[in-house]
Structure 1
Amino acid sequence: MTGSPLPRRIAILAGGGSLPQEIAYRLKARGDHVHILAINGAAEIKDDATLQTSVDFAQIGKILSVLKNDKLTEMLIIGSVKRPDLANIKPDLGFFRAVPTVIRLIRAGGDDAVLRGVIAFFEKHGVRIVGPADVVPELLVSSGPLGRHGADSRQKLDIAKGLAVIRRLAPFDVGQGVVVAQGVVLAVEGAEGTDRMLQRLVARRANQNYLECGVLTKGPKPGQEMRIDLPTIGPNTVHNVQAAGLSGIAVAVGCTLTAERDDLRNTADAAGVYVEGVALGELQKRAKADRVTLDLQVFGRRRASATQRSDCIKGGGVLTVLAQEGVAAAATVVHRAHVLAIETGEGIDQILLRSGDLRQWGRGVWMRNAGVTVLADSRDLDATLLARAAETGLAGIAVMLGDSTLAIERKVIEEADKRGLFIAGLTWGQGEPG
């Protein structure tokens, strides 16, 4: 006869939102020992009954000490966070001991690469990182409608397109959320997160009637590390979807979290918004990078670093894949291998403004002229755009030229030189379609 399983001793490294506290309640109700590590400036824990310690991003030594002293063998990392501003962190001795790891994380680029590095670091110190599916599988979305409303046949076509775009963008570590209406991709989530993506659609609602039947699709990127940063929806998602004039939310079954599920269901039912779990099928398989071969040529006096050249090619790959999916994306902004923003109708000037606010690791790092914007059409490259790029702190601009017979105007190159920007052209590699 076997006895009951021993209580788990689990830490919750808590970011923003209600999920960290909700999960802590559930684990404690099962008899597990829970210790919340509440990240300063992010966590919203209002539970005095649960053991908790406040930590800063850079207090690595303090985090490891708590894990050791409280004999915590597992850790769940949950809740929304922004990459910290390196100018404002409060490092301890453990941070300086981990400097090589920190540098690798800063250079890692996209979110998934950073999170894999975080997991490897803690597991090297003997703490098993667990995911929501390991500890609270009941919070994952199941197949079918969550409430009274469901998607009709036309809306299911939009859902399929949104999930297809997520799958195709997976090799570039971008795009957990995509909005589609009547077959048109209205928005692709960049570094701003789902809520801000939806909020920017509100301003476009008045003169774009097809928004009335649009859908927010969310799902993990194929091959994504599933223990951290799962797509999440809650009552606030429904409010933002309704404000944007969309009619529903479709999310991946078994790998999307629900926060405040009862409130989510009631809010959606009252708003007439459907929330539906969709089986991913092919999306569940690990994506292989689409073969997009691009050649880069830099013009003018300014040179591009190896990182900046790589960012240009990554941005060009994103635009190429979106074009193949029929998405009219005019530009993207990439900073240190992280896709910050993708333009899908709001205008290039707007994504440049937005990307400045989405700087990674703080303004000091961002303003070293490290980011690039990649344009789908050379006709968008003019003096006004060059001025905006320089003001935003970009290092340069690359243009999709398609084939090597096209060129960038000399006056544009000269203006870029004056602005301290490099100008580059991206052309198809051998065997690629134009």
Structure 2
Amino acid sequence: MRQVGIISGSGELPVEFARSASEKGIEVKIFAIKKITDKKIEQYGKTYWLNFGEAQKLIDLLKEENIKDLVMLGKIEHYSLIFSLHKLDKRAREFLSKLRDKRAKTILEAVMSELKEEGFNFIDPTPYLKNLLIEEGVIAGTAEDRLIDDAVFGLKIAKEIADLDIGQTVVVKNRIVVAVEGIEGTDRCIIRGGELGGEETVVCKVARKNQDMRYDVPVIGTKTLKSMKKAKARLLAVEAGKTYLLEREKFKKLAEKYGIAVIGFKL
């Protein structure tokens, strides 16, 4: 039986992958992070729980289980990594010290390269998650033309920001960029955008121009909507075909309840 190892961060995405792979008859081995990974992932395969930063232990376990194919899914906050160096083991500290910079893309690509040198292969998880990819068009609600105009403007800016690996999200209002996602993450960026721009901001989230679907693919879910409600934002514009939507039916009902429109744009 084919087996796949999942290096799992937080959120529903690694859980969805584990469920889908298991249903397709693949043996799933899960390498979870204490206090970060959702415990319900355990139902889909043998699970090892590691402390944040135990790089050598992870590698040793992967080899013990004879894992060859890997996926790396779920959020590990960028600021948690950068400001938690004291929690990292010797292998992880040595690894970080060799990087040219500490941008998310740099770190993730270097992790994949390091593990590849150890004999592991990162596979594209998209075939197991196709049902989560957002399609072009209206997902929920309706939006006035002025908000859609803001979305078209904001998506172009977001694409440039994402390609610089600063963040994946910008918040705009009246064709003015009021907030750009940095190390704080999407939800804090949305809330800051509301504080600066007031009501009826537009949140734009995109993938990089040449997005590698094996890592750091943009994700939205009910948490995104809750942050938007707090910010009194009105429209969520995302890149179709390269953004994952979690818990679709629950998400759509909540968007309707909050009066938030959600649209997928082909870029």
> TM-score scaled to structure 2, two decimals?
0.89
Tell me the equivalent position of 1:63.
58
Structure 1 pair 179/126, CA: closer, same or farther in 2 (3 Å)? same
Give the 3 Å change call, closer, same or farther, for CA 21–167 of structure 1 in structure 2: closer
1:229 alignment partner AA: D
Alignment of 1:42-121 (within 5 A): 42-49=36-43, 50-82=45-77, 83-84=80-81, 85-89=84-88, 91=89, 95-96=90-91, 100-105=94-99, 107-121=100-114
Please list, as runs of the form range in 1=range in 2, the aligned pairs for 1:349-368 lying within 5 A after superposition: none
Matched, 1:182 2:174: yes
Q: Indicate conservation of the 8 Å contact 2:30/2:42, yes or no.
A: no
Structure 1 CA distance for aligned equivalents of residues 212 and 106 of structure 2: 9
In structure 2, give the amino acid aligned to 1:176.
Q
Q: Does 1:39 align with 2:33?
A: yes
Q: Alignment partner for residue 193 of structure 1, among 177, 185, 191?
A: 185
Query: How big is each residue's C-alpha offset from its partner over 1:385-430, in whole Å with a ceiling of 9 and x where there is no partner?
Result: xxxxxxxxxxxxxxxxxxxxxxxxxxxxxxxxxxxxxxxxxxxxxx
- Structure 2 counterpart of 1:52, which letter? T
Match of 1:124 in 2: 117
1:172 aligns with 2:132: no
Query: By how many angstroms is 1:193 displaced?
Result: 0.5
CA distance in 2, matches of 1:194, 1:175: 8
State the Cα distance separating 1:170 from its structure 2 match: 4.3
- Is 1:256 the counterpart of 2:256? The answer is no
CA 1:201/1:170 → structure 2, altered by over 3 Å: closer, same or farther?
closer
Give 2:223's aligned residue.
236
Structure 1 unaligned residues grouped into runs of 5+: 1-6, 281-434
Give the superposition deviation at 1:277: 1.0
C-alpha distance 171-275 of structure 1, shift in aligned 2 (>3 A): closer
| Alpha carbons 2:171, 2:189 under 8 Å: kept | no
For residues 199 and 48 of structure 1, what CA distance do their matches in structure 2 show?
33
Check the 8 A contact 2:134/2:243 in 1, yes or no. Answer: yes
Match of 1:352 in 2: none
Work out which of the two has the higher radius of gyration on C-alpha atoms and give 1 or 2. Answer: 1
**Which SS does the other structure have where 1:76 is aligned?**
strand
Partners of 1:262 and 1:104 lie apart in 2 by 44
Runs of 4 or more consecutive aligned structure 1 residues displaced over 4 Å after TM superposition:
none
Alpha-carbon spacing, 1:22–1:167, altered in 2? closer, same or farther (3 Å):
closer
Task: For 1:86, give the aligned amino acid.
Answer: L
- Shift of residue 42 of structure 1? 1.6
1:139 paired residue number = 132
Task: Give the number of the structure whose residues are more often helix, by fraction.
Answer: 2
Q: Which secondary structure state, in structure 1, belongs to the residue aligned with residue 237 of structure 2? A: strand
> Structure 1 residues 202, 137: closer, same or farther in 2, change over 3 A?
same
* C-alpha distance in 2 between matches for 1:109 and 1:131: 24
2:189 maps to amino acid: M
> Displacement, 1:114?
1.2
Q: Counterpart in 2 of 1:425?
A: none
Q: Distance in 1 between matches of 2:93 and 2:230?
A: 44
**Aligned partner letter, 1:199:** I
Tell me the matched-pair count: 262
**Cα drift, residue 202 of structure 1:** 4.3
> What per-residue deviation string (whole Å, max 9, x for no partner) do you get for residues 286-329 of structure 1?
xxxxxxxxxxxxxxxxxxxxxxxxxxxxxxxxxxxxxxxxxxxx
Q: Which residue of 2 aligns with 1:222?
A: 209
Q: Residue 388 of structure 1 corresponds to which residue in structure 2? A: none
| Identical-pair percentage | 29
| Counterpart-to-counterpart distance in 2, 1:192 and 1:217 | 16
Taking the aligned partners of 1:274 and 1:117, their CA distance within structure 2 comes to: 37
Give the match for residue 321 of structure 1.
none
More relative contact order in 1 or in 2 (CA 8 Å, sep 6+)? 2
The correspondence for 2:5, drawn from 11, 17, 26, is 11
> Structure 1's 170 and 198: CA in aligned 2 closer, same or farther, altered over 3 A?
closer
Question: How far apart, CA to CA, are the structure 1 residues paired with 2:98 and 2:149?
Answer: 41
The amino acid across from 2:110 in the alignment is: G
Q: What is the root-mean-square deviation of aligned Cα atoms in Å? A: 2.1
SS in 2 for 1:275: strand
The code of the aligned residue for 2:40 comes to K
